[in-house]
């Protein structure tokens, strides 16, 4: 089993804010190429009203398609009970619930306060969901473009509540405000409250600290990370939330450190080409794609 788990969120977080729609068949080809590269978790979409985010209108079809791919955990996002029910019907293996620690962002994103959203997730947990994992993701955990500072005690409180009925909890830097010292401090605070229920980290590279923050999280025991191929993505309801951590750069960092991700970098870069060709003109990023691997580089595996 690889030492590092990377969940590719490009088909959801990457495309929800894109200026153009990727055709469904192109999404399927992209998801298949990501799975072929060794990604074991892919967030294929979100069950939200298509009128709000048209790019997610085909999520049901993508979940059904992705379930047929071998050795892949199919992840989807749901903001409420209705979305969770749709995710279950489609066959998602894991559903992520965004619970913002920022009141302003929460109202903008899901039309609920943070505490109301926690109660919505509780309702979902009480709904029959045999075999479906639930992840509570505390978003804007490190700061918010609307509210500014987000008190750490709010993050700890929300994470603790979610840990009571979710299978796992993640901390998300939705708008790229985090720094490595803050990452270590907050992950340690939350882990002291909920222990091993704290699993995932979701960072944005908005201000160039995405990889540094991922490394800081690794150094305090995190082994599961979200990222997006080419750095696509951002929250449409959080101004200034651009650029997820770049999957290929994240994989390269860990592999160059001798840590096995189970991902084939060459195949991952081929998946990137598929993505770029399907949404021409969309800004993409990535140092590895530009510079290539160092001479003599060997992956950890």
pLDDT in tens, 114-133: 999 999 999 999 999 999 99
Residue 241: the pLDDT is 44
Alpha-carbon span 152 to 186, nearest angstrom: 7
Tell whether the model's pLDDT for residue 240 goes beyond 80: no
- Is residue 82 assigned to a domain? yes
CA-based end-to-end distance of the chain: 10
Taking only the tens place, the pLDDT of each residue in 171-207 is 999 999 999 999 999 999 999 999 999 999 999 998 8
Tell whether the model's pLDDT for residue 17 goes beyond 90: no
Closest by alpha carbon to 4, among 266, 254, 264?
254
Note if 235 is an active site residue: yes
70: alpha, beta or left? (left if phi > 0; alpha if psi -120 to 50): beta
Expressed as residue numbers, the domain containing 94 is: 5-291
Alpha-carbon span 271 to 249, nearest angstrom: 14
Domains of the chain: total: 1
- Is residue 300 assigned to a domain? no
Residue 281: the pLDDT is 87
Tell whether the model's pLDDT for residue 48 goes beyond 80: yes
Residue 242: the pLDDT is 58
Q: Which of 124, 144, 166, 235 is catalytic?
A: 235
Residue 234's pLDDT band, with cuts at 50, 70 and 90, is low
- Is residue 204 assigned to a domain? yes
CATH number of the domain bearing residue 264? 3.20.20.70
Regarding predicted confidence, which is higher, 46 or 110?
46
- Is residue 265 assigned to a domain? yes
Residue 18's pLDDT band, with cuts at 50, 70 and 90, is confident
pTM score of the predicted model: 0.95
- Is residue 299 assigned to a domain? no
- Is residue 61 assigned to a domain? yes
Rounded to the nearest 5°, which phi and psi values hold at 73?
Answer: -90, 120
Average pLDDT over residues 90-110: 93
Q: Let me know the angle formed at the C-alpha of 205 by 185 and 249, rounded to the nearest 5 degrees.
A: 105
Residue 1's pLDDT band, with cuts at 50, 70 and 90, is confident
């Amino acid at each position: 089993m690889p030492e590092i788990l990377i969940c590719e969120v490009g088909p959801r977080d990457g495309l929800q804010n894109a200026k153009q729609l990727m055709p469904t068949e192109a999404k399927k080809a992209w998801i298949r190429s990501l799975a072929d590269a060794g990604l074991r978790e892919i967030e294929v979409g979100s069950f939200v009203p298509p009128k709000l985010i048209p790019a997610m209108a085909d999520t049901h079809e993508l979940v059904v398609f992705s379930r047929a791919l071998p050795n892949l955990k199919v992840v989807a996002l749901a903001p409420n009970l209705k979305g969770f029910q749709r995710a279950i019907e489609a066959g998602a293996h894991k559903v992520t619930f965004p619970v913002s620690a920022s009141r302003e962002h929460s109202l903008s994103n899901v039309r609920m306060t943070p505490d109301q959203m926690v109660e919505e997730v509780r309702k979902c947990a009480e709904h029959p969901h045999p075999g479906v994992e639930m992840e509570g993701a505390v978003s804007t955990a490190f700061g918010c473009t609307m509210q500014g500072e987000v008190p750490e005690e709010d993050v700890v409180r929300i994470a603790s509540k979610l840990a009571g009925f979710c299978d796992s909890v993640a901390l998300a830097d939705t708008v790229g405000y985090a720094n490595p010292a803050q990452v270590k401090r907050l992950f340690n605070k939350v882990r002291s409250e909920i222990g091993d229920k704290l699993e995932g980290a979701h960072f944005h590279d908005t201000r160039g600290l995405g990889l540094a923050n991922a490394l800081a999280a690794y150094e305090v025991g995190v082994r599961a990370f979200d990222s997006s191929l080419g750095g696509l993505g951002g929250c449409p309801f959080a101004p200034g939330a651009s650029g997820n951590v770049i999957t290929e750069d994240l994989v390269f960092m860990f592999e160059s450190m001798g840590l096995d991700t189970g991902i084939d970098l060459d195949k991952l870069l081929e998946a990137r080409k598929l993505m770029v060709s399907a949404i021409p003109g969309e800004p993409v990023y990535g140092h590895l794609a530009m510079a290539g691997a160092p001479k003599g580089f060997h992956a950890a595996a």
